[in-house]
Amino acid sequence: MTYLDLNTPQRTIMTPGPVEVDPRVLRAMSTPILGQFDPAFTAIMNEVMEMLRKVFKTRNQWAFPVDGTSRSGIEALLCSVIEPGDKVFIPIFGRFGYLLTEICERYGAEVHTIECPWGQVFNQQTIIDEMKKIKPKVAALVHGETSTGCMQPIDQIGPACREEDVLLIVDAVASIGGVDIRVDEWMIDAIVGGTQKCLSVPAGMAPITYNHRIEKVIAARKKVERGISTDDDRKNELSRTHPIVKSNYLDVGMLQDYWGPRRLNHHTEATSMLYALREGLRIILEEGLEERFIRHKEHEEALIAGIEAMGLTLYGDRSVKLATVTCIAIPNGVDPESVRAMLLDEFGIEIAKSFGPLEGKIWRIGTMGYSCRKENILFVLGALEAVLIRHGVAVKTGKALQAALDVYATQKKQSKTVVP
Amino acid sequence: MTYLDLNTPQRTIMTPGPVEVDPRVLRAMSTPILGQFDPAFTAIMNEVMEMLRKVFKTRNQWAFPVDGTSRSGIEALLCSVIEPGDKVFIPIFGRFGYLLTEICERYGAEVHTIECPWGQVFNQQTIIDEMKKIKPKVAALVHGETSTGCMQPIDQIGPACREEDVLLIVDAVASIGGVDIRVDEWMIDAIVGGTQKCLSVPAGMAPITYNHRIEKVIAARKKVERGISTDDDRKNELSRTHPIVKSNYLDVGMLQDYWGPRRLNHHTEATSMLYALREGLRIILEEGLEERFIRHKEHEEALIAGIEAMGLTLYGDRSVKLATVTCIAIPNGVDPESVRAMLLDEFGIEIAKSFGPLEGKIWRIGTMGYSCRKENILFVLGALEAVLIRHGVAVKTGKALQAALDVYATQKKQSKTVVP
C-alpha cells in the first residue's frame, strides 16, 4: 500500500481553537533544525523566553514553553506545586474549571470549588471572600472559558491572594495574545497560555511563566541533581520532606534547569515547534499587544452585529463576554450538527459546538489570532445566513453582512487603527 | 526591540538525536492546519495509526503518538500501567535505564534493578532468571542505549514474560526505524519510539503501541466517562479499586478514547507535528523497513572502518553494538569539548558527548535516519581527522576516507542495495 502526499482541503477555521496558523509561522517550521545544545539554538531558546515575558507582561525570570499541548502546561504547573493533601480552591464557571479540578484531584489535592451558572462569571469579591474562608495553598482559575465564551475578571484576585499568602495559578489558554493579561500588575503567580488559539501557532506547546513565590515551592520539591542516580541518591530523595513531583516529564523544576543557564539535559526540545512559537510571538510583538487586543475587539463587534442583525441571540452574560469567543443560542427546531456539517461541506468553514450541558444548545465562533480577519468574519456571516435559510430558520435576510460592514466603516472613521 | 527573521546556521548533525529532519518532513509541516475533529484530519490520524503499526510490526489496535517528546511516551505508558506498590523490574545498562527507574519510582513503584557495566548488555537469560525471581508486574527495559551505543537483544524476553504473566514495556526511542524491532513476534506488550532519531522527524511526538494485555490494565484504571464531572462522579471514581492514573495529560486510557472511534475530546492534537510524523513514516515505508535497516548497517560499517583506520578505538562491546550510535574512546590528553567545538565552529558538524561516568571519556556519533547518508559519513571522518591533527593527536593520516570508500565500494559489489 502506498500513501499519497498530504492533500488537505482548504478551510476557514472559526472555532475557538485550533485556529488558522499564520503562513509565516508555517514557513518558520520548515527551517532545518539545530541540535538542542547548539549555541545557535540555545540563543533562540533565550530569545523565546524574552518574547514570552513581553507577551505575558512580566519580569519573571522563568517564561518558557512546556513541550506538549496546552493542558500539559496546566498540569506541569499544578503537579509541580501541589502536594497530596494541599488545599486548592477552584471557582468553576465552565468546562475548563472542571479540568483544573480533575488534575488537582488526581495529584491528591483537597479541592474546594464554588460554581456559578454557565454563561456567567463570579463577582471577584465572591472569589476573594471564599478564598479567605478556605485558606487554600493554591487558587486556580480559568481566565477565558472557551466552553461558555465568558471571561472572569481577575485583576483584584491576585492582590488578595498575595495578602493571604495564597498562590494564584491562571489558565489563560484561550485569552493570551487576544485579550489583555498583566501577569505582574495583577499579581498572578503562575499562568499558562495556549498556542493554537490567539497566538496562531499549531497546538503542541504550552507557554508558562511563574514568579519567585512559585519557584520557591518548586525548589523545595526538586530532585537532588546528579549525573546518574545511585541507590543512596534515591533513598535520600525519597526521604525529603516535600515529596518529589510525580511526573518527570512535567516537572517544572527540571524544565527550569533545562531552560536556565545550567542547560541540564531533560527532554529534547521540540525544535520546529519552538521555531513556530518564536515566529508567532514575533508577529504579535510586531503588531503590538494593544493594537492586537483592539483588533480582536473590533472583529468581535462586527461579528456580533452581523449575528444579531440576522435575528439570532447570543448566549451568555454580555458584560463578561470573552472577546475571542462568541456563542450563539441555537434556534429552536434546527439540527445543530447538520448546520455545522453544511458549513464545512459547502463552505469549508468550521465553527464549534460546545460541551456538556451546552452541547446542542450553542454554537461557538472563535475570532482568534490569524483567523480573526475581516474576510473571515464576513464569510462566516454570509455562510451562516445561507445555511440557516436552507435549514428553514426564519432569519432576517440580507442584514448580517450590511451590519458587519457598517461596524467596520464606523471603526475606520473613529480610529486610526487600520483593521487588517 | 525588533526580532529578526529566523536565520539558522547550516549544520551536519551527527549526534544520536535530534538528527537532521528530512526536507520532505520539513515541507509537510508547512501545510495549513485542519481542525482536530475535521473528518479530513481524523482520516490523517487513522492513517498515521496504520503506518505506525507497520513500522512497529504489530497488529495492535492501538498505535498512536503521545503529544510530547520521547520521554512523554515512556512516562505515559509507565504511569498508566503502574500503580503505587507495584513491583517493576528494570535491567540497567546505561543512562536511560535510570530514567525508567526514576519515572517508576516517582509513581510509587517498588523498583528492582540489576546493572551491568556500561558498554555491555545482559545475557537475555540473566534478565529472564532475575525476572522469574522478582515476579514483577512489569519488566521495563531500554532496547538501544544511546548513552553507551549498546543494544540489548530482547527477542527471548517477551515470551518468558508472557509465561510468567509479566508485562514487558520497551524503550525503543533510539532504535525504531533504524534497527529491526518486531513487537508482535517478540511479544512486547508496550513500546515507545522516538521521532527525532531514526525517524528524522523533529522532537515533539512519542509514538507508542500496546496490546490487549496493557489495554486491560488501563481499562481497570479508567476514569468513568462523563461530560461534566459532579461531586458524585468524583466520589465514585475515587473509590474505585484501581487508583486513577495520576496524570491527565499522559493518561493512555484518555488518549485511547481520543484516538479511537469515540474521539472523546482530550488535548488538541498537535496538527503540524502529526503531519511531520506522517511524512516521516511515509518515507520509511517507501524506503522499506528491511532496506532501511541495511542502509543503517552499511553506513555504520563505513564509519567504523574510517574511525579505526585513523587509529581510534571504539568504546563498548562490539558484539552488541547499536547500529545507529558509534562511540569513540577519547584519546588520552585531548580536550574532548575543544574537539567538539572545533567540529562545530569550523565544519558545522555536531557530534555528541556522553553522560555521567562516560562524560569526557567518549564521543558519540549518530548514524540515524536522514543524517545517515554517505556524504555525512565522509564529511565527519574527514573533519574529525583534521580536528584531531589540530589537537596534536597522532592519528594515522589519509587513511580514514580511503577505508570508508573501500567499504562503500565493497558493499556496492556485494549487494543490490544502492546506498543513497
Q: Which CATH number belongs to the domain containing residue B404 in this structure?
A: 3.90.1150.10
Does the pLDDT of residue A239 top 60, yes or no?
A: no
Does the pLDDT of residue B32 top 60, yes or no?
A: yes
The whole-angstrom distance between A399's CA and the closest CA on chain B is 29
Nearest to B103 among A31, A47, A248 (CB): A248
Specify if B4 maps to a domain. Answer: no
Specify if B335 maps to a domain. Answer: yes
Say whether both B205 and B345 belong to one domain. Answer: no
DSSP label at residue A332: T
Say whether both A263 and A304 belong to one domain. Answer: no
Say whether both A304 and A259 belong to one domain. Answer: no
| CA dist., res. B76 & res. B95, Å (int) | 19
Site of grid cell 457598517: A406
User: What residues of B are designated binding site for substrate?
Assistant: 364
DSSP label at residue B318: G
Nearest to A71 among B17, B47, B267 (CB): B267
- Residues in chain A with CB shorter than 8 Å from the CB of B99 are 248
pLDDT digits (tens, 9 = 90+) for A18-42: 999 999 999 999 999 999 999 999 9
Does the pLDDT of residue B203 top 90, yes or no?
A: yes
pLDDT class of A242 with cuts at 50, 70, 90:
confident
Identify whether the C-beta of residue A366 lies closer than 8 Å to the C-beta of residue A14. yes
| CA dist., res. A88 & res. A105, Å (int) | 9
**ipTM of the modeled complex:** 0.95
- Residues in chain B with CB shorter than 8 Å from the CB of A68 are 67-68, 72, 249, 267
* CA proximity to A111, closest of B243, B238, B247, B79: B238
What residues pair up with B87 in beta bridges, in sequence order?
Answer: B110
| B32 at A interface, C-beta within 8 A | yes
| A68 at B interface, C-beta within 8 A | yes
pLDDT class of B224 with cuts at 50, 70, 90:
low
Does the pLDDT of residue B230 top 80, yes or no?
A: no
- What confidence score (pLDDT) does residue A106 get? 96
Specify if A250 maps to a domain. Answer: yes
- Structural element, H or E, at residue A64: strand A62-66
- Where does a domain end: A253, A283, A313? A283
Reported residue count of chain B is 420
Specify if B358 maps to a domain. Answer: yes
Query: Best of A26, A55, A106 to disrupt the B interface by mutation (most B CBs within 10 Å)?
Result: A106
b vs e for A30-63, b when ≥16 Cβ sit within 10 Å of the residue's Cβ?
bbbbbbbbbeebbebbebbbebbbebbbbebebb
Looking at chain A, which residue has its C-alpha nearest residue B68?
A68
Looking at chain A, which residue has its C-alpha nearest residue B41?
A8
- What confidence score (pLDDT) does residue A241 get? 75
Average pLDDT on B96-107 reads 96
Nearest to A271 among B99, B203, B269 (CB): B203
| A218 at B interface, C-beta within 8 A | no
The whole-angstrom distance between A159's CA and the closest CA on chain B is 30
pLDDT class of A234 with cuts at 50, 70, 90:
low
Nearest to A249 among B250, B279, B355 (CB): B250
DSSP label at residue A223: P
Query: Best of B98, B233, B272 to disrupt the A interface by mutation (most A CBs within 10 Å)?
Result: B272
pLDDT digits (tens, 9 = 90+) for A384-418: 999 999 999 999 999 999 999 999 999 998 876 55
Q: Are A38 and B69 a contacting pair at CB < 8 A?
A: no
In A268-297, the residues whose Cβ lies within 8 Å of chain B are 268-273, 275-276, 278-279, 282, 285-286
- Where does a domain end: A283, A307, A342? A283
- What confidence score (pLDDT) does residue A226 get? 45
Say whether both A346 and A256 belong to one domain. Answer: no
Q: Which CATH number belongs to the domain containing residue A153 in this structure?
A: 3.40.640.10
B300-303: long-range contacts at Cβ-Cβ below 8 A with a sequence spacing of 24 or more? B300/B324, B300/B326, B300/B367, B301/B407, B301/B411, B302/B374, B302/B377, B302/B404, B302/B407, B302/B408, B302/B411, B303/B365, B303/B367, B303/B377, B303/B380, B303/B381, B303/B404
Number of structural domains found in chain B: 2
Say whether both A226 and A277 belong to one domain. Answer: yes
In A148-207, the residues whose Cβ lies within 8 Å of chain B are 196, 202-204
The whole-angstrom distance between B266's CA and the closest CA on chain A is 9
Q: Percent of chain A at pLDDT above 90? A: 91
Nearest to B269 among A203, A238, A282 (CB): A203
Specify if A16 maps to a domain. Answer: no
Nearest to B32 among A3, A21, A228 (CB): A21
Locate B407 and state its grid cell.
Answer: 567499504
Average pLDDT on B314-341 reads 97
Size of interface A-B (CB pairs under 8 A): 263
Specify if A348 maps to a domain. Answer: yes
- What confidence score (pLDDT) does residue A415 get? 73
- Residues in chain A with CB shorter than 8 Å from the CB of B246 are 79, 106-107, 246-247
| CA dist., res. A308 & res. A399, Å (int) | 9
Site of grid cell 461534566: B228
Mean pLDDT (chain A) is 94
pLDDT class of A228 with cuts at 50, 70, 90:
very low
| B87 at A interface, C-beta within 8 A | no
Alpha carbon B109 to its chain centroid, in Å, reads 23
Say whether both B383 and B399 belong to one domain. Answer: yes
pLDDT digits (tens, 9 = 90+) for A60-109: 999 999 999 999 999 999 999 999 999 999 999 999 999 999 999 999 99
Q: Are A6 and B278 a contacting pair at CB < 8 A?
A: yes
Average pLDDT on B218-227 reads 72
Say whether both B277 and B293 belong to one domain. Answer: no
| Radius of gyration, CA atoms only, chain B | 22
- Residues in chain A with CB shorter than 8 Å from the CB of B23 are 32
> Residue A177: phi, psi to the nearest 5?
85, -5
The whole-angstrom distance between B163's CA and the closest CA on chain A is 30
Q: Are A272 and B275 a contacting pair at CB < 8 A?
A: no
Does the pLDDT of residue B227 top 50, yes or no?
A: no
Say whether both A181 and A211 belong to one domain. Answer: yes
- CB proximity list for B22: less than 8 A, separation 6 or greater: B200, B201, B279, B280, B283, B369, B370
Give the side-chain half-sphere CA count within 13 A for A207. 33
The whole-angstrom distance between B283's CA and the closest CA on chain A is 9
What residues pair up with A171 in beta bridges, in sequence order?
Answer: A142, A192
Nearest to B69 among A98, A268, A357 (CB): A268
Average pLDDT on B10-21 reads 97
pLDDT class of B348 with cuts at 50, 70, 90:
very high
Say whether both A183 and A302 belong to one domain. Answer: no
The 3-state DSSP class for residue A375 equals: helix
pLDDT digits (tens, 9 = 90+) for B397-412: 999 999 999 999 999 9
Does the pLDDT of residue B328 top 70, yes or no?
A: yes
Looking at chain B, which residue has its C-alpha nearest residue A113?
B231
Determine the structural domain holding residue A113 and report its residue range.
Answer: 21-283
- What confidence score (pLDDT) does residue B242 get? 85
Say whether both A244 and A294 belong to one domain. Answer: no
pLDDT digits (tens, 9 = 90+) for A6-21: 999 999 999 999 999 9
Average pLDDT on B386-396 reads 98
Does the pLDDT of residue B86 top 90, yes or no?
A: yes
- Where does a domain end: B238, B259, B283? B283
| Radius of gyration, CA atoms only, chain A | 22
Identify whether the C-beta of residue A258 lies closer than 8 Å to the C-beta of residue A267. yes
Nearest to B247 among A26, A247, A268 (CB): A247
| A396 at B interface, C-beta within 8 A | no
Locate B89 and state its grid cell.
Answer: 523490574
DSSP states of A182-212: -TTTTT-SEEEE-SSSTT---SS-EEEEE-H
Whether residue A336 is preceded by a cis peptide bond, meaning omega within 30 degrees of 0, is no
Q: Are A204 and B273 a contacting pair at CB < 8 A?
A: yes
Handedness of CA B218, B219, B223, B226 (dihedral sign): positive
Q: Are B71 and A267 a contacting pair at CB < 8 A?
A: yes
pLDDT digits (tens, 9 = 90+) for A196-224: 999 999 999 999 999 999 999 999 998 65
Q: Percent of chain B at pLDDT above 90? A: 91
Say whether both B296 and B380 belong to one domain. Answer: yes
Specify if B397 maps to a domain. Answer: yes
| CA dist., res. A399 & res. B306, Å (int) | 76
Looking at chain A, which residue has its C-alpha nearest residue B78?
A247
Report in angstroms the alpha-carbon separations of A271 from A30, A51, A361, B71.
11, 17, 41, 15
Specify if A7 maps to a domain. Answer: no
Looking at chain A, which residue has its C-alpha nearest residue B286?
A2
pLDDT digits (tens, 9 = 90+) for B124-163: 999 999 999 999 999 999 999 999 999 999 999 999 999 9
Give the side-chain half-sphere CA count within 13 A for A149. 29
Say whether both A397 and A332 belong to one domain. Answer: yes
